[in-house]
């Protein structure tokens, strides 16, 4: 009898082994690791979708940047600049009753707006500062946006694009408010189109607003002191200004104290 039982035990062991084999195979091919032991989690699902032709989301570009404005100018001042002007000399006085400031050249370029093309230059203005209503002999410079169309001076044309009138009548004499000599102040000038007729020499005495509103407001060579109402720049800067101003670009001067220009 013991001899007959041994084959049955071997048969039973073989049967149990065969029964367990499907369970092991199912565990290997289930939800987690596959035959190679790699996990098919969310990342694997994303990779599968990409391989099936679904492109990843693309960033949506924002709106284009607005053209740059001239720093320090408020909406009223910006609106006074003609839309077809592409050159601006911006003179920013240090205060309403102050006669010093800075002058900077700006160009308006398509798509990008206004860009400074010079460093701020030292400038003088009227002895008593600035005014919204200039009158004769008030010793203040008018605030506003004015065209620049005509130039001239005692010295020969340094290469100006504006019409340039070389004339001995640009001779400056006497002394300024600080006792400084005025000689050479009108060697180079650019007429500011305040109470004058554009397209004429800066020496033209026509005053459309009347004599009481003053006139003869120029940009001229600095004499190391305040002016009677003009704007003055260093000699080298005047020469650079004359070469830069281009009538095809409808140049203007934007001038006033920083508080007024910010309106």
How many domains are contained in the chain?
A: 1
Assess whether pLDDT exceeds 70 at residue 89.
Answer: yes
Residue 47 lies in a domain: no
Assess whether pLDDT exceeds 60 at residue 247.
Answer: yes
Residue 136 lies in a domain: yes
Contacts with 165 (C-beta within 8 Å, 6 or more apart), sequence order = 150, 151, 152, 153, 201, 202, 203
H or E, element range at 189: strand 189-191
pLDDT confidence tier of residue 20, bands split at 50, 70 and 90:
very low
**The pLDDT of residue 182:** 98
Give 165-191 pLDDT, tens digit per residue.
999 999 999 999 999 999 999 999 999
- At residue 173, the 3 state secondary structure works out as coil
- Of 1-15, 60-74, 202-216, 242-256, the least confident: 1-15
Contacts with 202 (C-beta within 8 Å, 6 or more apart), sequence order = 150, 151, 152, 165, 189, 190, 191, 216, 218
Assess whether pLDDT exceeds 50 at residue 30.
Answer: no
**The pLDDT of residue 191:** 98
**The pLDDT of residue 57:** 65
Assess whether pLDDT exceeds 60 at residue 164.
Answer: yes
What's the rounded mean pLDDT across residues 218-223? 98
- Give the domain range for residue 241: 75-261
Residue 117 lies in a domain: yes
Residues of the chain above pLDDT 70, percent: 76
Q: Domain with 253 in it: what CATH number?
A: 2.40.440.10
Flag whether the pTM goes above 0.85.
no
**The pLDDT of residue 1:** 39
**The pLDDT of residue 54:** 59
What's the rounded mean pLDDT across residues 152-161? 98
Residue 8 lies in a domain: no
Residue 250 lies in a domain: yes
**The pLDDT of residue 48:** 43
Give 97-122 pLDDT, tens digit per residue.
999 999 999 999 998 999 999 999 99
Q: Are 139 and 95 in contact (CB under 8 A)?
A: no
Residue 185 lies in a domain: yes
Residue 192 lies in a domain: yes
Contacts with 84 (C-beta within 8 Å, 6 or more apart), sequence order = 250
pLDDT confidence tier of residue 143, bands split at 50, 70 and 90:
very high
**The pLDDT of residue 66:** 80
Distance CA 89, CA 253 (A): 5
Phi, psi of 212 (to 5 degrees): -70, -20
Residue 38 lies in a domain: no
pLDDT confidence tier of residue 64, bands split at 50, 70 and 90:
low
């Amino acid at each position: 009898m013991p001899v007959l039982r041994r084959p049955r035990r071997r048969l039973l062991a073989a049967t149990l082994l065969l029964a367990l084999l499907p369970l092991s195979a199912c565990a290997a091919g289930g939800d987690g690791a596959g035959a190679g032991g790699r996990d098919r989690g969310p990342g694997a699902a994303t990779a599968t979708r990409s391989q099936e032709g679904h492109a990843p989301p693309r960033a949506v570009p924002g709106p284009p940047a607005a053209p740059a404005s001239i720093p320090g100018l408020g909406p009223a001042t910006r609106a006074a600049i003609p839309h077809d002007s592409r050159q601006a000399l911006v003179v920013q006085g240090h205060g309403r009753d102050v006669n010093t400031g800075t002058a900077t050249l700006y160009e308006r370029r398509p798509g990008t707006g206004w860009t400074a093309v010079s460093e701020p230059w030292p400038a003088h203005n009227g002895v008593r500062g600035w005014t919204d209503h200039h009158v004769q002999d008030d010793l203040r410079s008018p605030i506003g946006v004015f065209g620049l169309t005509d130039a001239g001076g005692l010295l020969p044309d340094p290469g100006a694009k504006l019409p340039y009138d070389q004339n001995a009548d640009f001779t400056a004499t006497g002394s300024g408010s600080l006792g400084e000599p005025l000689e050479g102040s009108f060697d180079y000038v650019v007429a500011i189109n305040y109470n004058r007729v554009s397209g004429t020499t800066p020496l033209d005495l026509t005053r459309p607003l009347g004599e009481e509103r003053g006139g003869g407001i120029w940009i001229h060579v600095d004499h190391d002191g305040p002016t009677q109402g003009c704007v003055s720049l260093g000699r080298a800067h005047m020469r650079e200004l004359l070469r830069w101003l281009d009538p095809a670009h409808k140049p203007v001067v934007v001038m006033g104290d920083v508080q007024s220009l910010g309106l």
